[in-house]
């Protein structure tokens, strides 16, 4: 087995997995076998951990550990720690992704559960929000996607962006706020 042990102390190594997760006030954690349930002011989320990973709570912190005798369990140590940390943050603060529309005539309108995009097609594109995700439209050129599940918020943002990916010549399309769209020079004219 190719385990990653520290030469000095003999412990398993994982920079992310070793870190404890602070339980914020108003957050409830329930561990039932391999299922972790996190409840907070914004809602509740569940996560099932793999057989080689164990989760425990003590003194206001969540600790994720692995069984060294299980094959490849150390590969999922940091993953499960990050997933549970995102659940704790999501049920207290929530997550958001912002998208911008760039291009002549590109507009968006809608409400919390449905948006209508005019992005250069012959028809407007309607996108309905998944459960646990809300939309907010800012000045017809920007969309804010909010929710408690980080994976779901990112997935919805990615699906909306993929409807009209920014093109490299003029930058028209849907892009994340702060995303640098790689530009290409146009055709060189004859001299």
pLDDT band at 9; cut points 50, 70, 90: very low
pLDDT at 7 over 50: no
Query: Is 90 exceeded by the pLDDT of residue 37?
Result: yes
- What is this structure's pTM? 0.85
CB-neighbour burial class of residue 88 (10 A; exposed 0-12, middle 13-18, buried 19+)? buried
Question: Over pLDDT 90: what percentage of the chain?
Answer: 63
List the domains of the chain with CATH numbers: 21-92 (3.90.930.12), 95-176 (3.90.930.12)
Secondary structure class of 138 (helix, strand, coil):
strand
pLDDT at res. 162: 95
Render pLDDT for 56-97 as a digit per residue (tens, 0 to 9).
999 999 999 888 777 777 788 889 999 999 999 999 999 999
pLDDT at 11 (0 to 100) = 56
Mean pLDDT across the chain: 88
Helix, strand, coil % (nearest 5) of the chain? 15, 35, 45
Q: What is the average per-residue pLDDT within 9-36?
A: 83
Residue 14: per-residue pLDDT? 74
- How far is CA 103 from each of CA 28, 75, 99, 100, 106, rounded to the nearest angstrom? 45, 43, 13, 10, 5
pLDDT of residue 165: 93
Token pair listed for 157: 């943002």
């Amino acid at each position: 087995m190719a385990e990653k042990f520290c030469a000095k102390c003999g412990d398993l190594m994982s920079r992310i997995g070793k870190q404890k997760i602070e339980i914020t006030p108003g957050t409830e954690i329930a561990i039932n076998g391999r299922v972790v349930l996190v409840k907070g002011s914004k809602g509740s989320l569940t996560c099932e951990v793999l057989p080689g990973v164990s989760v425990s709570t003590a003194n206001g912190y969540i600790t994720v550990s692995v069984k060294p005798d299980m094959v490849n369990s150390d590969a999922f140590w940091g993953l499960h720690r990050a997933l549970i940390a995102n659940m704790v943050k999501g049920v207290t603060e929530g997550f958001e992704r912002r998208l911008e529309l760039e291009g002549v005539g590109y507009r968006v309108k809608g409400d919390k559960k449905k948006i209508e995009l005019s992005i250069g097609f012959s028809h407007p594109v309607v996108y309905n929000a998944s459960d646990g995700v809300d939309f907010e439209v800012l000045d017809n050129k920007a969309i804010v996607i909010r929710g408690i599940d980080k994976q779901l918020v990112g997935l919805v943002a990615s699906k909306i962006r993929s409807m009209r990916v920014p093109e490299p010549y003029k930058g028209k399309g849907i892009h994340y706020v702060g995303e640098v769209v790689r530009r290409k020079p146009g055709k060189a004219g004859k001299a």
